[in-house]
Structures are given as structure tokens and as C-alpha cells.
Structure 1
Amino acid sequence: MKLLVRNLSRSTTEQELRILFSEHGTVTECTLVLDQATGKSKGFAFVGMPNEAEAKKALSSLHETKVAKNKIRVKVAQ
């Protein structure tokens, strides 16, 4: 299952996201979307978790939690 993580701090890294989501299960993919011109984060990312139950647990546990002073939003990617 692929999750969309929004409202990330511009300083949050892919590694930090991978660690955060790994606490809830296996993470196979973590892609922080970067601005091509500046190389800086656009404030959202995609996290792939193969086990649907673990992904749903991560979604419910992490949605609207604070990460680096920002309240992140997590939902299933369309």
C-alpha cells in the first residue's frame, strides 16, 4: 500500500520518514518529493508498505501527529 504524507517540514529527510514509518512495519519505498530547481523538499512524500495491515496502522497512528513542528497528514495515495 502506498501512503501520501503531506505537510512535512522542509527539513525532514527521507531517512527520518523511513525510521518513523518503520516503527509500524516494513517500509519498501520512501520517496521525498524535491523541487527540481532548488533540490529542496516540496513538503510531501510517498511511503510504500507491502503489508496492508501495517500500512493502515501507520496511517492511523501518524495522521495529524507533529513531526519537526509540523502536523503531518497521512492518507492512502491515489
Structure 2
Amino acid sequence: MKILVRNLERSVTEQELLELFQPFGQVASCTLVLDQKTGKSKGFGFVEMPHAREAIKAIKGLNTFKVKGAGIRVKAADEQNNQNNA
């Protein structure tokens, strides 16, 4: 299941995002969306978890969780978001 993570502090790394989701289960991939001109984070990213049950637990457990002072927004990514940010 692909998960959209928004409202990330721009200093959050892919490794930190990965470590945030790993306690909930297996993480297949973790990607921050970067600005093409600056190479810096745009403040959101995607996490892919192969097992839906684990992904749902992660979404429920991490939505509004504070990371570096910012309450992140976590939800299942819909196909339109996937295509726009691929």
C-alpha cells in the first residue's frame, strides 16, 4: 500500500522517514519529493508498505504525530497523487 506523508519539516531525511514507519512493519520503499531546481525536500513524500494491515496501523499511528515539531499528515495515497508525483 502506498502512503502519502505530508507536512514534513523540510530537514527530515528519507532515512528518518523510514525509521518512523519501520516499527509498524515492513517498508518496501521510502521517497521524499524533491524540488527539481534546489534538490531540497518539498515537505512531503511516499512510503510503500507491502502489507495493508501494517500500512493501516502506520497511518492510524502516525497521522498528526509530531516530527521535528511539525504534526505530519499521513493517509493512503490515491492513484491520482501517484501519477502526479511519479
Q: TM-score range by the shorter chain?
A: over 0.9
TM superposition outliers: structure 1 runs of 4+ over 2 Å: none
Show CA shifts across 1:31-57 (max 9, x none).
100001001000000000000000000
Question: CA shift at 1:70, angstroms?
Answer: 0.5
- Structure 1 partner of 2:39: 39
Report the counterpart of residue 5 of structure 2 in structure 1: 5
CA RMSD of aligned residues (A): 0.4
Aligned residue identity for 1:18: L
Question: How many pairs are equivalent?
Answer: 78
Match of 1:32, SS state, is: strand
Name the TM-score, length of structure 1 as normaliser: 0.99
Q: TM-score, normalised by structure 2?
A: 0.90
Superposed displacement of residue 61, structure 1: 0.3
Letter in 2 for 1:28: A
Q: Which residues in structure 2 correspond to 1:1-78 (within 5 Å)? A: 1-78=1-78
Question: Which runs of no fewer than 5 residues in structure 1 stay unpaired?
Answer: none
Structure 2 stretches of 5 or more lacking a match? 79-86
Q: Distance in 1 between matches of 2:75 and 2:5?
A: 7
Opposite residue 5 of structure 1, the aligned amino acid is V
| RCO comparison, higher one (Cα < 8 Å, 6+) | 1
